[in-house]
A and B are shown apart, each in its own frame.
Chain A
Amino acid sequence: MSHLDAQADEPLRIQASPPSVEAVEGLASAETEAATRPLDYLSAPPERVVAEIARHDIHALEALYDRYGDIVYSVSLRVVGDTQLAEDITQEVFLRLWRRPDLFDESRGRFLTWLLSVARNRAIDELRSRVRRHAHEAQDAAAEALPAKDEGDDPLAQALHLDERVAVRRALALLPPEQRLVIELAYFGGYTQQEIATRLRQPLGTVKTRVRLGLQKLRPLLIGQRDQGH
């Protein structure tokens, strides 16, 4: 939604469901109780929490931000290499989620991977439009030298999808460095194979082979991870 609503004279009404009379009086049946019980945002699957966003429950957004804000920011930062820009992208991603929760289609995959791909795509767009060929040089250099880090290097290695994140890192660490590099340049740098070949001064065929082999190795390593946890 654009700012048009801001010209409304009515403030935003956050829909909060008052407890039913039955619940207040302790007369609710088990079924009614389950239906009216407040959703525990800390433990609920994110797909359920998104459904509450569609009902304009600000606490649902708050919960998703608390759960995923750091990783959305980290992905954005990994792509653009600029903290201010990464903050802006993170803000955009969550406000877009707030305004258009319907853009998430549960039938097409998990919420977290969808959210992170939105952040990554938005960051790549931003990168392409402004800083790619200039300010990103230093960040690229850092990325090219970046080893697959152990989770122990990460000061914020907390419970958030820890197993999954460790598994992806370990899978990446199993790749030969040159295969990992082309995958990272393509995914986090937004480069095509041709651009990577130019950057690395390698034949295009070599880059294509590295991309193919790298992803072919990653695929079986990550199968099973994608269906785990929220």
Chain B
Amino acid sequence: MNCEAVWKNIEAFALGALEEPEADAVAAHIAECAECAELANAYQATVDQLPLAVPLHRTPARLRKAVLAGARSPGRPAPSLLRDVRVLSAAAAVLVALAVGSVVWAGILSFQVNDLRAESQRLERLVEAGAESAVEQGRLQSALGVAEDEQRRMGIRLEEQSKIIALVLDPDALLSDLQGTSLAPEAHCYYLWSAYQSIGGLLCQDLPPAGPAGTYQMWMTKDGTTIAMGSLTAQPDGSATAVVRLPANAPPGPVTDMWVTRESGRAVPSKPGSDVVLARAPAGQTAR
């Protein structure tokens, strides 16, 4: 775009009324051309005065209180419709997916466990008939044990989800964003911390599978100490949740960083690996 073309668009550019490709072209030219940049600044100064024309409305007293309360509690957002809607919709997407999967799986498990129990009891009555039946009963009892373990895990998962729901609904829960790194560019998590409940919850979307033997591990830095906060598993649809608690021996002081790594084994590693998949969104990233 040359100067003449920029001059034809400079007013709309200052007003933010150009379509994106045109605006980008003007911006690129202005970055190189001092004369056009000066003209753009002049129009920008004009546009910047437009909000002074609005009729004044008085703010409600509660807003002043909310602003000052928010400032006095660093990071603590006063109850905000914007935050609630954003978190609730993200949480709803994850929780609905998990809940549907959990309910279906719990139903299947329940049938499976009941069938296995009935089969096992039937075989118990026949066990004296021969060694072959005893072997079959052993196989069934092993399958029953596996199914009951899975049922217990499902119970824990449902309990975890109820805690996440409680966190999302907690108006004082505090929010952080974790953004996917180049290892998981589409991934995004919300981390909610409730001082009142003393628990945190991680809600993730678009998390890729961690690999056949891999797992995701959450970490925090507190007073210079790195703390393992627990693991999480990505569901087939990329969603994942985890409830975390600070260990009793965690040092005092603020949490200065948090991130998620992909680890190669199931065991909790003593220190974080180098495959960081989620990191804190930079502060002020959306500032304009």
Contacts and interface: CB of A to CB of B under 8 A. Distances in A.
Interface residues of B, number: 65
Given A10-B253, A91-B67, A183 B50 contact: yes
B12 A6 contact: no
B57 A70 contact: yes
Contacts of A34: none
Given A87-B63, A100-B284, A211 B73 contact: no
Contacts of A96: 284, 287
Contacts of B256: 4
Interface string B52-83: 11111111100110111011111111101110
B151 to A, nearest CB: 34
B45 A118 contact: no
Interface stretch (A21-29, A35-43, A119-127): A119-127
A192 B283 contact: no
A3 B193 contact: yes
B59 A154 contact: no
Given A3-B75, A8-B253, A58-B72, A183 B15 contact: yes
B52 A165 contact: yes
A9 B252 contact: yes
A167 to B, nearest CB: 8
Contacts of A157: 56
Interface in A182-196: 183, 186-188, 190-194, 196
A168 B50 contact: yes
Nearest to B81: A88
Contacts of B258: 4
Nearest to B84: A88
Given A69-B59, A95-B70, A187 B82 contact: no
Main secondary structure of the interface of B (DSSP, over half): mixed
Interface string B21-52: 00000000000000000000011011111111
Contact of B57 (A1, A61, A74): A74
B175 A62 contact: no
A208 B54 CA distance: 24
Interface in B166-185: 174-177
A229 to B, nearest CB: 11
Interface string B230-253: 000000000000000010000011
Contacts of B288: 117-118, 121-122
A85 B18 contact: no
B148 interface: no
B54 A92 contact: no
A12 interface: yes
Contact of B287 (A61, A103, A164): A103
Interface string A72-97: 01110110000011011111101110
B154 to A, nearest CB: 30
Contact of B18 (A2, A73, A78, A192): A192
A119 B51 contact: yes
Contacts of A9: 252-253
Given A61-B67, A69-B63, A74-B56, A5 B74 contact: yes
Contacts of A192: 17-19
B254 interface: yes
Contacts of A153: 55
B195 interface: yes
A94 B72 CA distance: 12
B260 to A, nearest CB: 15
A212 interface: yes
A169 interface: yes
Leading 3 A-B pairs by shortest Cβ distance? A3-B174, A8-B254, A3-B75
5 contacts: A73-B59, A87-B60, A112-B52, A118-B288, A190-B16
Interface of A: 1-10, 12, 14, 58, 61-62, 65-66, 69-71, 73-75, 77-78, 84-85, 87-92, 94-96, 98-100, 103, 109, 112-113, 116-122, 126, 130, 148-149, 153-158, 160-161, 164-165, 168-169, 172, 183, 186-188, 190-194, 196, 208, 211-212, 214-216, 218-219, 222-223, 225-226
